[in-house]
Structure 1
Amino acid sequence: MRLYLASTSPARRALLAQTGIEPVLVAPGVDEDAAVATHEATLGRKLSGPELVSLLAVAKASAVADAEVAGRPVDGFVFGGDSAFEVDGTLYGKPQDPAVARERWRQMLAVGGGTLWSGHCVLDRRADRAAAVDATASRTGGTGRPRTAPPVRPLPASTAGDGLIGDAAPGGSAMVADGDRVVAVDSAVLTFADDVSDDEIDAYVASGEPLEVAGAFTIDGRAAAYITRIDGAPSAVVGLSLPVLRSMLLRGFGATWHDLWSM
């Protein structure tokens, strides 16, 4: 069974590959700034962290789901993801500019940490999905122990079009289902070391690593030494929450994790 990754992120691909899954990478081509601006104008306010990452996850997955890949229709599951780091009520995406990254690190260290929001959207585009396990029935099983996975809820009518999730709490997760679509948000609360110097910040920014990643850091790279604690799934900080993705597939579509393994 194929998993199409609506992203060209090396980190997300590597994360899946190390679990035995070789995704098909497809660039979604979504204008993220425009999508966010449109929804904020409609709502008349700024999007929260969970809303922003769920909105963009849905937009990315939707952009790929009905496209042709290598001249053929998509046949499998399509995953779209997005991340944002929230510090003291402010959401941070990719800094891109060294000066911005440097100042962001000073702000993050002054506060001591923040919340990484990770948005997920899975769309079922299996050619034989009409004959697949009934999704409604599959959602009633596999509940597991309390708090091991977010409860699956029907998607509220008010957000049926965009799939926004607004009620995830820092360190928690939420999941909603709507036909052939499951949307989820996971989060992890990070604590930074309290003795990081300006020289260390300058050296890290000079490495170029923080410029193209949400929050200006990665835990699977040079910044790992500056992070003392993670409350939540470490994979969520890398780019997608593997436990939540597994639950989305299993409880939303009756698909097991090993169905996606590359044999």
Structure 2
Amino acid sequence: MPDLSLVLASASPARREVLRSAGIEPIVRVSDVDEDAIAEALPPGTPPRQVVIELARAKAHHIAATAELPAECVVVGCDSMLLVDDVLQGKPHTPEVARARWGEMAGRSADLITGHCVLRMSAGAVTAESVDCSATTVHFAKPDAAELDAYIATGEPLQVAGAFTLDGLGGWFVDRIEGDPSSVIGIGLPLLRRLLGDVGLTIAQLWRHPPA
């Protein structure tokens, strides 16, 4: 088989590092799709899992259609949102929204849902596709007012789904999780492995630096 590359349709450094630590050096191509517009265009009552899948699919297909890509590659799109009281929450963007989100979720649990879309491509054409999502329950601590002020002031929670990270400063305020930690970071390795299998690939075909 010709050299096969994994193209990550995401600007997320956390997703990139998850793949790197797992032996894959991704090619990063950032999708600029309007996530809010895509979500709003979905039919009313679309299940939360389907929402994140459609967002991941839109990102992957945008890169497949517009970016310069290797002849043989697999494009991976992901999107994460936090489900709190049956309401999906994405990136807060502002300190005010981040503070309000933490007011809702501190001391409680919520589900971090991550949609995945895998496109196998050859000579610029999509030859196979597989999509799914993973859900991990996150149990949040109760940061005190000073801790929350300091965390929001770092800017980290403003640009991440659910206003927290597991692998960064937000990890101090996560008591435990139930599920796949890599999915909470933004790309679930167990699910990605299965989706790659659905399109006829193995993870070993993508490893650049296999474990010794």
Q: TM-score, normalised by structure 1?
A: 0.74
Match of 1:255 in 2: 201
Residue 235 (1) aligns with residue 182 (2):
yes
If you compute each CA radius of gyration, which structure gives the higher value, 1 or 2?
1
Matching of residues 1-263 of structure 1 within 5 Å: 1-39=4-42, 43=43, 45-69=44-68, 74-109=71-106, 112-127=108-123, 180-193=128-141, 195-250=142-197, 252-263=198-209
SS at match of 1:189: strand
Deviations 1:121-172 (A, max 9, x none): 0011034999xxxxxxxxxxxxxxxxxxxxxxxxxxxxxxxxxxxxxxxxxx
Counterpart-to-counterpart distance in 2, 1:81 and 1:255: 18
The CA RMSD measured in Å over matched residues stands at 1.9
Cα distance in 2 for residues equivalent to 1:207 and 1:128: 41
Structure 1 position 228, deviation (Å) = 1.2
Gap change, CA 1:183 and 1:96, over 3 Å in 2 = same
Q: Does the Cα contact within 8 Å between 1:67 and 1:73 map onto a contact in 2?
A: no
| 1:201, distance to aligned residue in structure 2 (A) | 1.0
Judged with a 3 Å threshold, the aligned counterparts in structure 2 of structure 1 residues 222 and 68 are, in CA distance, closer, same or farther, namely closer
In structure 2, C-alpha distance between the alignment counterparts of 1:129 and 1:98, rounded to whole Å: 42
Conserved in 2, the CA contact under 8 Å of 1:66 and 1:74? no
- In the TM superposition, residue 74 of structure 1 has moved relative to its aligned partner by 4.9
1:166-211 CA-partner distances (Å, limit 9, x unpaired): xxxxxxxxxxxxx711001101001112x42111111111111100
Per the TM alignment, residue 258 of structure 1 is displaced from its structure 2 partner at its CA by 1.5
Stretches of structure 1 lacking an aligned partner (at least 5 in a row)? 131-178
Following superposition, the deviation at residue 46 of structure 1 comes to 4.1
In 1, Cα distance between the equivalents of 2:29 and 2:10?
6
Q: What is the letter of the counterpart of residue 178 of structure 2?
A: D
Gaps of 5+ in 2: none
Cα distance in 2 for residues equivalent to 1:202 and 1:92: 20
**TM-aligned CA deviation for residue 68 of structure 1:** 3.8
% same residue: 42
- Please tell me whether the aligned partners of residues 64 and 124 of structure 2 are also in contact (alpha carbons under 8 angstroms): no
